[in-house]
Structure 1
Amino acid sequence: MNTGVKITAFAAALAATFGTAYGIGKGVGPVVGPAVAAEERPAAGHGEHDAPSVSTAPGGLQVSEGGHTLTLEPSALTAGKRGELRFAVRDARGRAVTAYEREHGKELHLILASRDLTVYRHLHPVRGADGTWSTPVELPKAGDYRAFADFTPAGGAALTLGGDLAVPGTYRPAALPAPSRVAEVDGYRVELAGTPAPGRAGELTLRVSRGGRPVTDLEPYLGAYGHLVALRAGDLAYLHVHPHEGPAGPEVSFTVTAPSAGAYRLFLDFRHAGKVRTAAFTVHAH
């Protein structure tokens, strides 16, 4: 990966769809730490004729784009119990893709979110030799979920594909959590400053503290001190950006441009004391 921050296909597509980039991060190099190792890029993919140009539709809202399709295998997931999710990314000829570019130490990032945006999981599945991905997962309640596969096929453009996932059982959607500038998780307090604005780049800063003291020794997680995923309420349009270059806390900042006014759910992943935690916020772009 070069020193520029990764922008998913969603961001690139929205530049055409909405006339502006959805999310832009200022230049940031990988953070070097014990959990992050430099790795070789995989070999090139199947050839140019298998990689049609990416459409202008927003990433994450489509199951198929740019000649690639996300196929979720039937999964007997039970609410509150650990199960296994299996899927593949297939090319225009129906073959499972086995060659990917590495982004932040991984070939593919998988996000699971409930349709009511109260459940979020950032997973890193394992790819088998046949191109089938698998990951253990436990979802706390029945309902409708969306799976997002964020990846770059070897020699191709970055893509974010989305597919629906149902967990059977009695289901009552929860209301979107109320907007808040503070999130508490595992004894950590994360404060959000800034508001995304539609069509205009703005900075979001998240400050991490614990026991009333600022956390100044955040640990590298996938090559950065924080990862931010934003999902738009209603259609779950997806954005994944990475932080500006800076120290290991207490503040981690991002540059974000919302494609439209409305409610968004933000999920910040950060690692400290050897564990990854997620702080969630509801914000309104206006």
Structure 2
Amino acid sequence: MKTPFRLGAYLLGLAVVFGGAFSAGGAIGATRPAPADIGHPAHVNPSQAEQKTEHLPGGLQVSQDGYTLNPELTTVTPGEQAEFRFTVNGPDGRAVTGYETEHDKKLHLIVVSRDATAFQHVHPELSAEGVWSVPLTLPEAGAYRVFADFVPHGGEGLTLGAELYAPGDYTPRPLPAPSRTATVDGYTIRLDGALTPGTVSRLTAEISKNGEPVTDLQPYLEAYGHLVALRVGDLAYLHVHPDGVPGDGVTPAGPGITFYAEVPSRGDYRLFLDFRHKGAVHTAAFTVRAEQPAAAPTATADHGSGHSASNQARS
């Protein structure tokens, strides 16, 4: 039986869990720097530092490449709507006001519970002063991660992450078991394809309703679907790209939506698929395990028969 406990105790547990995760980083694909010469202090120039962090998946850092995510609040009352306001400060220390439009929006805000079960994808409004704001309701007590996915004007795409808390009694939910089928709002979604660490993987979501394939999906964020992939444990945010463009005369409006994703390590991932049909956006969730493919068996030469064949050839 599960017993609810206070969020403070949960956060202490998180510190222990993530501390252990860092110590076991090699097991999940993290790269550890070589220890510095004990007789000399380590010297790392800025270009070396950037090389060490540029390979990290998105969302693990609150600051990257001179840009910093600055929420005005980090604690909200669960179940009550709050105005979530934040800025992205640029290399000059000022709030960024210029953004490129990416997937129909200047910024995508993703909110996920630390147990990777609750998910929201919202789009804040930007003021002339560079302050983003959006009404936000956290469904229940717990720890959450917010991700700001954006492209600053003239720059490269970034995903920055920060913590958000809803105090109160909290019972972490178990991770849903890996499954390639999800149901939501009367729709059934089957996910085909495998996640292979270190390579680009092709995934296709097949959507049906009442046993019939859905062939009239509507565009959502300039595609027939939007997929967010998060690594369970640290919630590393992975960019996933849809295949095709609605209205290009080639991409069908269902039932299949194809995506390309690259995961950095083995383990479990949570995938959240948004799609639009009949004017409403629906979100399906999957737990998918990324594994290395089985190595092909190596043929072993039969030296005895080889010698026999050679002898026969010579004879």
Give the deviation of 1:201 after TM superposition.
Answer: 2.3
Name which of structure 1's ranges 212-221 and 253-262 shifts more when overlaid on structure 2: 253-262
Residue in structure 1 matched with residue 240 of structure 2 by the alignment:
241
Cα displacement string for residues 87-109 of structure 1 (whole angstroms, at most 9, x for unaligned residues): 11001232110001111221100
Q: Say which of 241, 250, 255 aligns to 1:250.
A: 255
Higher-Rg structure is 2
Q: Say which of 274, 279, 289 aligns to 1:274.
A: 279
Is the contact made by 1:226 and 1:242 (CA closer than 8 Å) also made in structure 2? no
Distance change >3 Å, CA 95–CA 53, structure 1 → 2: farther
How large is the RMSD of aligned CA atoms in angstroms?
Answer: 1.8
Residue in structure 2 matched with residue 142 of structure 1 by the alignment:
141
Residue in structure 2 matched with residue 39 of structure 1 by the alignment:
none
Counterpart amino acid of 1:185? V
Give the deviation of 1:76 after TM superposition.
Answer: 5.1
Q: Secondary structure at the match of 1:242?
A: strand
Whole-angstrom CA distance in 2 between matches of 1:71 and 1:247: 40
Residue in structure 1 matched with residue 21 of structure 2 by the alignment:
none
Cα displacement string for residues 175-212 of structure 1 (whole angstroms, at most 9, x for unaligned residues): 11111111111111111111101122221110111111
Whole-angstrom CA distance in 1 between matches of 2:109 and 2:187: 25
Q: Secondary structure at the match of 1:84?
A: strand
Give the deviation of 1:255 after TM superposition.
Answer: 1.8
Q: How does 1:118-157 map to 2 (within 5 A)?
A: 118-157=117-156
Q: 4+ residue runs of structure 1 moved beyond 6 angstroms?
A: none
Counterpart amino acid of 1:269? D
Residue in structure 1 matched with residue 81 of structure 2 by the alignment:
82
RCO (CA 8 Å, sep 6+): is it higher in 1 or 2?
1
Structure 1 gaps, min length 5: 1-16, 20-51
Residue in structure 2 matched with residue 71 of structure 1 by the alignment:
70
Residue in structure 1 matched with residue 164 of structure 2 by the alignment:
165
Give the deviation of 1:257 after TM superposition.
Answer: 2.2
Residue in structure 2 matched with residue 59 of structure 1 by the alignment:
58
Whole-angstrom CA distance in 2 between matches of 1:18 and 1:77: 33
Whole-angstrom CA distance in 2 between matches of 1:53 and 1:247: 41
Cα displacement string for residues 117-165 of structure 1 (whole angstroms, at most 9, x for unaligned residues): 0100001000111111010112211110000000010011110000011
Whole-angstrom CA distance in 1 between matches of 2:206 and 2:30: 31
The answer to whether 1:194 aligns with 2:193 is: yes
TM normalised by structure 2 equals 0.72
Residue in structure 2 matched with residue 265 of structure 1 by the alignment:
270
Structure 2 gaps, min length 5: 1-28, 32-48, 245-250, 292-315
Distance change >3 Å, CA 69–CA 158, structure 1 → 2: same
Whole-angstrom CA distance in 1 between matches of 2:256 and 2:97: 37
Distance change >3 Å, CA 18–CA 204, structure 1 → 2: farther
Whole-angstrom CA distance in 2 between matches of 1:200 and 1:150: 22
Whole-angstrom CA distance in 2 between matches of 1:190 and 1:171: 30
Residue in structure 1 matched with residue 35 of structure 2 by the alignment:
none
Give the deviation of 1:241 after TM superposition.
Answer: 1.6
Name which of structure 1's ranges 69-78 and 198-207 shifts more when overlaid on structure 2: 69-78
Counterpart amino acid of 2:118? V
Is the contact made by 2:241 and 2:261 (CA closer than 8 Å) also made in structure 1? no
Distance change >3 Å, CA 75–CA 233, structure 1 → 2: closer
Residue in structure 2 matched with residue 49 of structure 1 by the alignment:
none
TM normalised by structure 1 equals 0.80
Whole-angstrom CA distance in 1 between matches of 2:107 and 2:130: 12
Residue in structure 2 matched with residue 97 of structure 1 by the alignment:
96
Whole-angstrom CA distance in 1 between matches of 2:229 and 2:261: 10
Name which of structure 1's ranges 240-249 and 117-126 shifts more when overlaid on structure 2: 240-249
Give the deviation of 1:53 after TM superposition.
Answer: 7.0
Residue in structure 2 matched with residue 14 of structure 1 by the alignment:
none
